[in-house]
Structure 1
């Protein structure tokens, strides 16, 4: 019986010494993001398409791309649509090592912009795309963009209790 209690205690101790996951948000930019007012990325795209004069939004989405050079832009992907590039007002940066699929909350302005051939190539270079993909860019492109003045990025970190 004594051996049984020692075995149970050993298992319980080993479980409590495992890694735990802590979730927190890291804020970037001059504007605090109110996540209680956030809509999904899909809802933001739908609203902006229907009401282009309503261009200020707070939305959330997982990151699908991050500038690997300096962290000066990220990409988010609406359901069934083309990826949207989020650039940061006044050129604040997020760490280029920010994980893809991290959930982020953005506040800022949606707009359509013509992206020059040169800028499209620059973005692909930032993303470390292969030269063959960069060379395929030959025409300017109109796309939905978002200029964020504040972003919260969900950080998930494993911390050992040992």
Structure 2
């Protein structure tokens, strides 16, 4: 009997200790008048390649690691948790931020940008595409018109420089 009580007590302690602990979010929405500066890891502009070079690299390989220069086309209207960049092949590349660890200003569309991280080709499912459309403030009809997954280029950035020469 004492053995059963002891083992029950030990099991309860083990189960309690394995509970996930709450994680405190340290990233906050960025809200500034002039959306320029460094976001995420502080990076520099050495070794930057063009978007044309990026597309060529991704056509030849499944992944590209490095820095790319472009212009911000669209930013998540909710928090600044993603942005898009138009590519020279007519496609748009979505840029997300490593581990959801930082955001960019919601008013940074149209600004030149340097991003560092990893780009890849991927298929984005319908639910995620609809989520992005909702974040971008699209109408209900536009969101519901998304019915098929999309092959696209994605970039996970560790650091971003938004330049002030827009």
TM-score range for the pair, normalised by the shorter chain length: 0.7 to 0.9
Q: Which residue does the alignment assign to 1:26?
A: 37
Change in CA separation of 1:65 and 1:24 when aligned onto 2, cut-off 3 Å = closer
Aligned equivalents of 2:96, 2:132: Cα separation in 1: 11
Equivalent position to 2:161, from 144, 152, 159: 152
The higher relative CO (CA closer than 8 Å, separation ≥ 6) is in: 1
- Deviation at residue 131 of structure 1 after TM alignment: 1.7
Task: Provide structure 2 residue ranges, at least 5 long, that are not aligned to the other structure.
Answer: 1-33
Change in CA separation of 1:37 and 1:25 when aligned onto 2, cut-off 3 Å = farther
Across the two proteins, how many residue pairs are aligned to each other?
Answer: 132
What do you get for the CA RMSD once the two structures are aligned?
A: 2.0
TM-score by length of 1: 0.75
Q: Which residue does the alignment assign to 1:85?
A: 94
Contact 2:112 2:165 in 1 (8 A): no
Q: Which residue does the alignment assign to 1:45?
A: 55
Q: Which residue does the alignment assign to 1:8?
A: none
Task: Provide structure 1 residue ranges, at least 5 long, that are not aligned to the other structure.
Answer: 1-22, 158-162
Matching of residues 99-138 of structure 1 within 5 Å: 100-138=109-147
- State the secondary structure of the residue aligned to 1:129: coil
TM-score by length of 2: 0.73
Greater strand percent: which structure?
A: 1
Q: Which runs of 4+ in 1 moved over 2 A?
A: none
